[in-house]
Amino acid sequence: MTESARLYYEERGQGMPVVLLHGFPFDHTIWSAQSDALSESVRVIAPDLRGHGQSPVFGEVYDMAALAADVVAVLDRCGVDRAVWVGHSMGGYITMAALREFPDRVAGIGLVATHPHPDTPEKRIQRNQSAQQVLGGGAGQVVLSMMNVLFAPALDRKSELAQRIYDVMLRTKTEGLAGALRAMAERPDSANTLATTTVPAVVIAGAEDQIVSVEVMQAMADLLTGAECHVIDRAGHMVMVENPAATTAALRAFLNRFSAA
Ligand code: MLT
């Protein structure tokens, strides 16, 4: 395993530790609304993944286990033994890797707009080509093509919200983009990981997600013992910014299960 990166992270609130992991290629600010609301009752830890946001580029070979190890290093720095891991999309892939590699550090999981399946061979080729394109100076093109599918179709791509997310993506470092693309291409099947975990789980889907369908997320929830699946209306893949109040409410209802225990 590679040495862990020292990730930038924001920490707010007190109580049960909850890690909020962003997807590709974003940063911790996508969780701002949830961080504001949830930190009233829990301890929110929101890192920027390796090569994303304010975190450094680190190592040449990224894989989901290494990205999960980076997050465990953040927990160590915070003096946190176990946390609830909430992962958006690629953050969900990392959460599933944490269940495999560091099960003792995971108290519960929230899977947001994500799924357990590996890339198809075609998708893997496409990811590796995108990584090459990014390293050759084509990051802007890769980011722009994502913009078409990130949000619910009705969301105005010129809105302040869409532009804010676009700017976050453009700030991701070239090596961070390429490393994450290659790590996603190589990620293993996590279906069995979810089918065999016993930690509490919640699934949150955007009703109009064009990247991960509601059906795929409902099937993922069926793999998990006792997991609720919340389908959030007026939201696509970026459910936490498109419908922040409903996403926060779903997470809050899940986290309340821990304090009631
Ligand atoms: C993400 O939002 O993290 C990506 O869409 C995940 C992926 O491309 O598989």
Question: For residue 260, what pLDDT band results from cuts at 50, 70 and 90?
Answer: low
Centre of ligand 1 to C-alpha 58, Å, is 20
Question: What's the chain's average pLDDT?
Answer: 96
Q: Which residue has the tokens 């619910």?
A: 152
Centre of ligand 1 to C-alpha 253, Å, is 25
Pocket test for ligand 1, best of 94, 146, 148, 211 (most atoms within 8 A of CB): 211
Centre of ligand 1 to C-alpha 102, Å, is 22
Mean pLDDT of 107-128: 98
Angstrom CA distances, 258 to 109, 197, 219, stand at 12, 17, 24
Pocket test for ligand 1, best of 49, 89, 187 (most atoms within 8 A of CB): 89
Torsion angle of alpha carbons 44, 50, 51, 57, nearest 10°?
Answer: 130
Pocket test for ligand 1, best of 21, 24, 216 (most atoms within 8 A of CB): 24
Residue 189 in tokens: 């099947």
Backbone phi, psi, residue 39, to 5°: -70, -5
Instruction: Label residue 140 exposed, middle or buried (CB < 10 Å: 0-12, 13-18, 19+).
Output: exposed
Whether the per-residue pLDDT at 3 is higher than 90: the answer is: no
Centre of ligand 1 to C-alpha 77, Å, is 27
Maximum C-alpha span of the chain: 52
Centre of ligand 1 to C-alpha 80, Å, is 27
Residue pLDDT, tens place only, 12-23: 999 999 999 999
Q: Which atom of ligand 1 is nearest to the CA of 184?
A: 9
A 10 A CB-CB count for 54 gives: 14
Q: Does the beta carbon of 184 sit less than 6 angstroms from any atom of ligand 1?
A: yes
Q: Which atom of ligand 1 is nearest to the CA of 23?
A: 3
Question: For residue 243, what pLDDT band results from cuts at 50, 70 and 90?
Answer: very high
The residue whose CA is least distant from atom 4 of ligand 1 is 24
- For 55, residues 6+ apart whose C-beta sits below 8 A from its C-beta are 5, 6, 7, 8, 47, 48, 49, 176
Whether the per-residue pLDDT at 4 is higher than 50: the answer is: yes
Q: Does the beta carbon of 24 sit less than 6 angstroms from any atom of ligand 1?
A: yes
Question: For residue 261, what pLDDT band results from cuts at 50, 70 and 90?
Answer: low
| Amino acid occupying residue 194 | L
Whether the per-residue pLDDT at 107 is higher than 80: the answer is: yes
Percentage of residues in the chain having pLDDT higher than 90: 94
pLDDT for res 1:
41
Whether the per-residue pLDDT at 252 is higher than 60: the answer is: yes
Residue pLDDT, tens place only, 36-89: 999 999 999 999 999 999 999 987 778 999 999 999 999 999 999 999 999 999
- Cβ-contact 114, 48 below 8 angstroms: no
Q: Does the beta carbon of 95 sit less than 6 angstroms from any atom of ligand 1?
A: no
Residue pLDDT, tens place only, 130-142: 999 999 998 999 9
Question: For residue 171, what pLDDT band results from cuts at 50, 70 and 90?
Answer: very high
pLDDT for res 61:
75
The residue whose CA is least distant from atom 9 of ligand 1 is 90
